[in-house]
Structure formats: structure tokens, C-alpha cells
Amino acid sequence: MGSYESELNLKATELRLGLPGSDEPEKRSCSVRSNKRSSRESSVEESRCKSNVNSDDSTTTSDHDQESVQPAKVQVVGWPPIRSYRKNSLQQKKVEGDGSGIYVKVSMAGAPYLRKIDLKVYKSYPELLMALQTLFKCTFGEYSEREGYNGSEYAPTYEDKDGDWMLVGDVPWNMFVSSCKRLRIIKGSEAKGLGCL
Amino acid sequence: MPRLAYSFPEEVLEHVFSFIECDKDRGSISLVCKSWYEIEAWCRRRVFVGNCYAVSPATVVKRFPKVRSVAIKGKPHFADFNLVPEGWGAYVFPWIKAMAAAYPWLQEIRLKRMVITDECLELIAKSFKNFSVLVLTSCEGFTTDGLAAITANCRNLRELELRESEVEDICGHWLSHFPDSYTSLVSLNISCLGNEVNLSALERLVSRCTNLQTLRLNRAVPLEKLANLLRGAPQLVELGTGTYSTEMRPEVFANLAEAFSGCKQLKSLSGFWDVLPSYLPALYPVCSSLTSLNLSYATIQSSDLIKLVSQCESLQRLWVLDYIEDAGLEVIAASCKDLRELRVFPSDPFGLEPNVALTEQGLVSVSEGCTKLQSVLYFCRQMSNAALDTIARNRPNMTRFRLCIIEPRAPDYLTREPLDAGFGAIVEHCKDLRRLSLSGLLSDRVFEYIGTYGKKLEMLSVAFAGDTDLGLHHVLSGCDNLRKLEIRDCPFGDKALLANAAKLETMRSLWMSSCLVSYGACKLLGLKLPRLNVEVIDERGPPDSRPDSSPVEKLYIYRTVSGPRLDMPGYVWRMEDDSALRVS
């Protein structure tokens, strides 16, 4: 492991990929270039340097400080080795372009077509619920933490990142927006059983 | 030619040869003597071309005039991970053109990682009257219009499989081009298509093709339609569902459950996009006879996965997301005693923190409980030498071991050491290991182990590993059966390559990207080894514009009997050999 010592003087200014507290050598490897095909991936060209030019955006140099803030991860092209096909399937909700909208599908019992809405357009639950009610000509009634949308004809539900179906309104708005994959408007009678699904 | 009294008539030899199906053996037969070479060539019906540039179509059709079935592979494996730029090659058209002229009775075409256009599909549909099998794996370049040409014209089509291919979806009516009289479909896989196909046409097709054994639907096929399709094909052996959720309606569920229980031959299930767990019990009637289950798109929790998988006592192959967690893998270890192949994919590969309780322990459990386990692909976030050692000792029958620790260069999480010893144990104990993918923190040491013990190793994938050229040298000099070596982001340079140049002619291909191989070394290799194509891939512009010592971006070296390929894009340079300089 002696050869790693020679690299120590570069460590302070090199971008590193590593677990916090890990002391592994950053082998002077070559630049990882993003190629033209990676426009579908959110990969970023990462220059792991032969030269120490990146001093202005160096990561924290304290290797042993487990509490140090992990910088935003620089994605390496083609790593982890997962086929695009599989990656795309997992990300059902995609941010198209640069924050140009979070479109999610909305389905409703009995409706022949699904609709799509842009969650980014709404700033809060009341706005979203109003829009849904207008779009599908239905009513949700009052939301309460205890009763959900008890008593109303319809209730809004959504599928989250883990694949679970949740009642709209339980979590903070921002958390909802980032974890909502699709929406579904179900009959009020079914909403009662939501907790048992 | 005069026949020796004691030799067999050609017909007898042909008959004997017809029992030899393995390509390698066929190759050996052809080397015995000239007449065996000729007879074997005349009666070879299947040809497998592992690298479409290793031999030209003209050479193949000339040597084997009576081929009925062809399989061709194109791009290097790392193309799967976007490491090969657009337009690199692997165009199948020259092959189709040559075969259209030479093999009017061609029946089967199987392609992997190739570019196939609608023009190619139309040519296939037009040229081969008996055409019956088209399997396109990880291919691209065609649209549903091309598929329409196939379905409209290939009266004897039995298998149409689009596996993870990129198809431009223009119109779902290509499926309707099968005439009403057409009933020979045995296998249909449209799982990679983005848009809907004409569902009523599909239903009619499925119910009139009574020999249908494999049906893999695409995500756009709604769950409500599945029951009907199943009822039309109760003899199905392999099924890929479409989306597996809809509103929870008791009648839909009951319908589905009944349809599944009618499928007594079902052995393989896949699909399961957007799974609603409450619909999984519809599958329970078929679980105990399942041998293959692909849940790798099912974003459901461990408990739901466990309920399902614990009933699949005959399972031999399981693909699943890491939502299965260690707990789920423990259940599998206890319930699926026949398991041969396990693949665990990451649900959140780019997340910074682990989102599921899946660690090395899950794999250890399976290696203990599933004694027939021989093929593993496992994505996880932590690993230890101790765990790898245990796995190796538990499963010396392992033949394919691919481990991906998501963080590059992650050390043994217990000791902070490299994982050299762990992978060393794998190659040492698993004497029949044919395929290995490494990850984690690795020094030159691991390659020493691989070179020493990996005598049966045929394919090795390396990323972010090693310290010096010695690492590469160990592999090239030690692995006697190495066919494919792919390396990315490793500090391997010229020395090992040049010292082992001759080895490269014994392999199918070598890929190196983001390493330290210099342009000068590439030129030297190209010069010394005329039977190799040494192709430098560099999107920064001509390598000549940089010093000889400058490392190339990517390097793809493969053996060939056809010389330089003629379709290289602007960012690929083949290193010249000196054959032009030789006086013939």
C-alpha cells in the first residue's frame, strides 16, 4: 500500500469518490467523459485529474470527519452499470429538461382516459386539489389528518417512490411533490380501506 | 476424388456430423482433414458470429453455403452502459444483404447489440420464404413499420422477440398485419415497446395461435386485459405481464385469479410494472410451478415480495429489485432450494444513502441455503472480504459472479481494506468460474489471484481497480481461457499490453476506456499484430494531433480475419498494420 503515499499531496485538491472517512487512494486516472448518448442520463462529465486544477471546488479534505457534509455526488458515465432501459423504467416520474415540469399521470375510476398534470404548477395542496376537482368534475371534501377525505364522494391518492398507494395530504407538500409518481382518484368508499391495502 | 476403401461415404459423415451441434466441436471437426472440412462446411446449419467484425459476411456465406440459422453479436458489452458513442457501427445490413443472396432458405436470425433498420427488416421479409425466428436483443435502428413488414410477409413466423431493444414506436397496428389465417406463432416478446399495440388484434392473434408458448407483453397493456389474453392461451409457458396495477376492484381480481389458475403450464413470469401488491395473490395458484420469475421492475416492498417468492419452491431463476432486502433473501434461501440464478438490481442507484436494508448478508444467506446457485448479479452498497470468502466456500460451483458495489473503490466496510482477498477467495474456490465482474477497492493483488486461479475464466469486467500495469499483466498472462476483457477507469498502461500482445490474438476482444494506454502503444500494437483491429475511440479529435505519449480515451481491440472494417465513424481510428509495406 506504500504507493498510495505519493498521492497524498494531491488528495487535498482532487475530486474524490469515496465513503466519508475512507482513505482510499485516488489513482490519477483519466477523465471520464460524457458522450453524446448520455443526454438521456443525468450524468455529468467528471474530471478526475492528473492535474490539480480543481482547487476551487475541492471536496472537504477532512477524511476522518464522518460528520462532514457529503458533496453533491458527481455522476460517472455508465456507473453503476445499469442499462438505460432499466434506469428509465425505474424513473417513472422524470423531470423533463431542466426543471421544466414534473408531469404525472392522473387516473380516475370510470374515466376512459388518463390525464397528465404538472405538479410544479401548484404550490400547495389546496391548489392541486382544486385543479383535480375541476379536471375530473368531482369533489373531495375536507381533508383531515384523522379522517382523510371521509364523507366525500371521491378521494385523491398517489403512488409514491416505494410503490405504495398513499392518501394525498398526509406528508408535507414538498415531500409529496418529490415522491409522487402518479395520481389516482378513487371512490370515497374505497378510500376507507386505503390503510389496509 | 478417389475414395479410400476404408473411409466413410460423405453421407454417413454428414449424418454423424449432424449430431455435433457445439460450434467449438464443429470447428475441431473441420480441422481434421480437407474432406472433413468440406463436408462439415456443407452441412453446417447454424453459424454463431461472436463479433460481427471478426469475419466478413462474404467469407461466411462462401464457407457455409447451407446455413439455416444465424446469430450475430455487434457492439462491445460496455455499450449497454453508454460507453460506446452513437454511430459506432454494428450494422447488420451487409449481413442481411449477403444472406439474402446466399441463403434463400434461411429460417432464423438472432442479433445482439446490432443496428438493424427498417430496410433490413423489409429485406428479411422479402428474401427468406421460410423465415421463422427473429430475436433482437439490445438492438436499435428500426421502427414498428419494419415490424409490420415482418408480420405481413413472414407466413411461417414462429418467434418474434424484441428484448430490450430500442424501437421507434410509430404505430401499434403492425401487429394487425398478421393475416387471419396465420396461426404459427410460438413466441412473442414485445416488452420493450413504448406504445400500445392494437389490443383486439393481439387478443385475436393469441387465441388463434394455439401453439403459443411465450407471450411477453409491454407496459402499455393494462391489467384488465390480461385475464382475457390468458384465457385465450391457457397453454402458455412463459408470460410477461403489462402494467400490473389498476383500481382495486374485486371482479377484476377474481377474473384475473381465475385466468391464472387456468394456466397450468406456466413456468416463467415477468413484467410487473407498477405493481399493486393487492393483485399479487392472483398469482398464487401458479407460484409453486414457476421456475423463472423476473420482478426487477416491481417496485414493491420486501413483505409483499416475500409473500410471493416464499411460495415459489421450484424457482430456478429470480431477478428482483433490492427491495427484497436481506430479510427477503433469507426467506429465499429457505424456500427456493432449486435456485440457480439470482440477480438483484438497485432501486435507487444514484441515491447517496442506502434506501433499503440490503447488504452483503443477503447474498451470504442465499449462498448458504441455495446449493445449486451458480449465477449471481448483485448490486449492493457494502461488502466485506469475510462475506466474499464465505460465499466462495459455500458455493464452489459458482460459474458466473458479478458483484457491483455501487460506490466505486469502496473498501471492505469492516476492515477498510481492499477486497482483494475476498475476490481472491472467489476465484480460488470456484474453479469453474467463467464470468467475473469486480467492484470495490482493489489493488494489483486481486489480479494476481485472478491470474493464478482463474484458469477457466472467459469474461472479466473491471472498473476503478488496480494500481499498476502489473495488475493487467497478471490477467493477460495467467487466464488461459480469457475471451473477453473489459476495463474502465483503471491505471493500466502500455507495459502490460505490449508484453502480452500475442495474448490478444487468442481473445475475442479487449475494451479499455479511461485507462492509461498511450497512442504510441496503440500504434505499435496495430503494427505488430496485423490479425487484430486496434481501434482507438477518441472524441477529442485525431490522435495524431496529440503526442504519442498521450493516453487514448477508449480502445477496442479484437481479432479478425477480415482486416479493417469499412464503416468506422469519424471518432474511431484503426491503427495500421504494416501489411501494406510487405512485398507479397
Q: Domain extents for chain B? A: 1-44
One-letter identity of residue B115: V
Task: State the pLDDT confidence band at A98, using cuts at 50, 70 and 90.
Answer: very low
Kindly determine whether residue B297 and residue A90, on different chains, have CB atoms separated by under 8 Å. Answer: yes
pLDDT in tens, chain B (584 residues): 555 545 678 889 999 999 998 999 999 999 999 999 999 999 999 999 999 999 999 999 999 999 999 999 999 999 999 999 999 999 999 999 999 999 999 999 999 999 999 999 999 999 999 999 999 999 999 999 999 999 999 999 999 999 999 999 888 899 999 999 999 999 999 999 988 899 999 999 999 999 999 999 999 999 999 999 999 999 999 999 999 988 888 999 999 999 999 999 999 999 999 898 999 999 999 999 999 999 999 999 999 999 999 999 999 999 999 999 999 999 999 999 999 999 999 999 988 889 899 999 999 999 999 999 999 999 999 999 999 999 999 999 999 999 999 999 999 999 999 999 999 999 999 999 999 999 999 999 999 999 999 999 999 999 999 999 999 999 999 999 999 999 999 999 999 999 999 999 999 999 999 999 999 999 999 999 999 999 999 999 999 999 999 999 999 999 999 999 999 999 999 999 876 555 44
B169, B218, B409: best to mutate for the A interface, most A CBs within 10 A = B409
Report whether A86 contacts A164 (CB < 8 A): no
> What ipTM was assigned to the predicted interfaces of this complex?
0.90
Question: Could you say which of B379, B411, B466 has the minimum Cβ distance to residue A22?
Answer: B411
Give the distance from residue B117's alpha carbon to the nearest chain A alpha carbon, in angstroms: 19
**Which of A3, A66, A69, A85 to substitute to test the interface with B, most B CBs within 10 Å?**
A85
Residue in chain A closest to B193 (alpha carbons) equals: A85
Q: Which residues of A touch B350 (CB under 8 A)?
A: 42, 73, 75
Instruction: For an interface test with A, give the residue of B115, B247, B252, B459 to mutate (most A CBs within 10 A).
Output: B247
Burial class (CB in 10 A: 0-12, 13-18, 19+), A122: middle
Q: Which residues of B touch A33 (CB under 8 A)?
A: 514, 539, 553
Task: Give the angle B198-B199-B201 at the CA atoms, nearest 5°.
Answer: 70
| Residues of A with Cβ-Cβ distance to B299 under 8 angstroms | 90, 161-163
pTM of the model as a whole: 0.79
Q: Are A18 and B278 in contact (CB < 8 Å)?
A: no
| Per-residue confidence (pLDDT) for residue B441, from 0 to 100 | 98
Q: In chain B, how long is the greatest CA-to-CA distance?
A: 82
Out of B345, B410, B467, name the one closest to residue A27 (CB). B467
> Is there a contact between A18 and B410 if contact means CB atoms under 8 Å apart?
yes
CB pairs under 8 A between A and B: 140
Q: 3-state DSSP call for residue B488?
A: strand
Inter-chain touch A17–B407, beta carbons under 8 Å: yes
Give the gap in angstroms from C-alpha A66 to the nearest C-alpha of chain B. 14
Q: Report the alpha-carbon distance of residue B217 to residue B237 in Å, rounded.
A: 14
Looking at beta carbons, which pairs linking B199-204 to residues 24 or more positions away fall under 8 Å? Answer: B199/B225, B201/B173, B201/B175, B201/B176, B202/B175, B202/B229, B203/B228, B203/B229, B203/B232, B204/B180
CATH architecture of the domain covering B1-44: Up-down Bundle (1.20)
CB B176 within 8 A of CB B203: no
Which among B309, B314, B316 is positioned nearest to B339, based on CA atoms?
B316
Nearest chain A CA: its distance from B409 CA (Å):
7
pLDDT category of residue A85 using cuts at 50, 70 and 90: confident
B-chain residues within 8 Å CB-CB of A86?
A: 296-297, 345
**Residue A115: pLDDT band with limits 50, 70, 90:** confident
Supply B232's cell numbers: 385465450
